[in-house]
Structure 1
Amino acid sequence: MFKKKVLVTGGAGFIGGNFVQYMVNKYPEYAIYNLDLLTYAGDLTKHREIESKDNYYFVKADIADHEKIDALFEKEKFDFVVHFAAESHVDRSITDPGVFVRTNVLGTQVLLDAAKKVGVTKFVHVSTDEVYGELDFDPTTFFTEETPLEPNSPYSASKASSDLLVRAYHETYGLPVNITRCSNNYGPYHFPEKLIPLTISRVLNDQKVPVYGDGKNIRDWLHVLDHCTAIDLVMHEGVNGEVYNVGGHNERTNLEVVKTIISTLGRSEELIEFVTDRLGHDKRYAIDPTKLEQLGWKPTYTFETGIAQTIQWYLDNKEWWEQIISGEYQSYFEKQYNV
């Protein structure tokens, strides 16, 4: 009999997938349920090593499906919900904002209703620093938990909206919640459309690497495994109703990141190709994680150690990202689960 039941939404994605593996391995006494709709970025092949474990369960479902989500919560009576599931690619949100509103806003509301009905111990909503908008290039300025929400893309606006819903369910219904807002994650199993894995895969194939604008936009990079330990801590120790920022203190321009990868792989910077800037491209994100550090968290990866490890992981796992690029991973669910 398991001590606790933990529902992880979006557990076939990048951050959620790493968190599922982290939790299954760290807490064998917990039953870990991975709920994912398996849209274009949902990949179950990453979980081959934990599929046979007694404390791992997979559920294919749409978080915006009221009936299915309510039935699942009523049946399993989850103790914890860790909510990663979201449409997350900014470029896609500019092309089709409606999908982001449905999943990120309505889907969150459906989950909150279900969590309220069964009385979960904690609902952890995983958000993003992008809800704060952008910072200028002054290196002494940072996002704190008190920074006003000023989202600039349809993606970040949908995440800010879901943040406010989570807060409202705490204030109105007393639902025990926490919101975490993280900086840019990187590490194993990062979907190849994002900057770091896109650069690695293209450089390894001697293809041009697109860089928006002049490449001077700055991001604070957080290793995904540091993010997992932060969420674990917040889930168990976070003060109900509080927001916690999760940052790596690893600011780099996009161009610096690309050049680091090219240099590490021994290729020429002639592969860099500057392209038309993204609409509404935020200049800089940087997080002050002091509040979370006071709770007991510290990142263990510097950017130098983390990016070297990540590049090596992509070199060692070419089969994984090559099947993603080719689209072969999308048939894994049907083959594995005979549906």
Structure 2
Amino acid sequence: MCWSTRRRTPTMPSGGSSARWSRNISPVPARMRPRSLFAVGDVKQAIFGFQGTDPATFLAAEAAFGARALAANVPFTSLPLATSFRSTPAVLQVVDQVLTDLGPAALGQDAASPVHKPARLRSGGRVVLWPMVEAAQTEEADWTPDQDLMWEPDAELQLASRIAEQIKAWLEARTLLPARGRPIRPGDILLLVRSRTTIAAALIAALNAAGIPVAGHDRVKLLQETAIRDVMALLRFVLQPADDLSLAELLKSPFLGWSEDRLMCLAHARPGSLWTALQTSQDTEAAQAAAWLGQALAAADMTAPYEFLAHVLGPLQEPNGSTSDWGSRRSRPWLYCSIWR
């Protein structure tokens, strides 16, 4: 949605969450090269505590860093960003109106949050608020043998059924999806829940009952897939080439297909990092691996995460452009199926 940025120049510790910053503000040794710290916070997205977010802790950390920066006579800047590059105008208008009605106290703030302007002025969008679904309040009466028992579904089951009925109506009516210029498909719909509790299971059951294709719980446990772990090793490496463990995992993955023996020959008794050893090795296969990883590093600097993954799983070839067995090992069908299914 919208972002608010805070930045300052060095002599403060970097990294970690805002909670860690507020507890771990200690001097940085003078021998270290000066570094800057950049922190991003969005109060509007953090009001419900998703993923452990805490606006009060973030603001406290900002104040603590600002005070230390002032005492150390180093720059500290709080930069508000008034433009949203992700949300559509309709979503921003609803969020701003709701927060205006609630007031700043509901967000733990002394003043109202600024109104954000959308960058995607021509993007469509609509926010529909449904009435609350509440379970029927019935009094328990004494039961007699000749009495028929009536079952009333709880609120979550009612809501799940209503959502499934709405989606089915869209699909049967071939409702137009303006952003794509075609009728809506099941894959265009994403259902977000605050937590995967009984409502998630109820939604899956309701969609299955309505004959609507749905990715269930068994399809979203991505990090348990070996192929996904290999991709995560690649992502960790391009973020930090000195991560020896991630590089070792990457070398043994289908991306590069090294054996234990080849990896041991490279890694054993090396004077520096594994990446340095790979770059300086005289071995032909090591040189090929280093060249491919170099291309991956270059691509990571210039592309967004999705584009980067599409690149390394698709057109990124061996340095000489051939499609040898070395290159084909990266594109085994199981790797694609595990990631894109």
* TM-score (structure 2 length as normaliser): 0.27
- Bigger relative CO (Cα 8 Å, ≥ 6 apart): 1
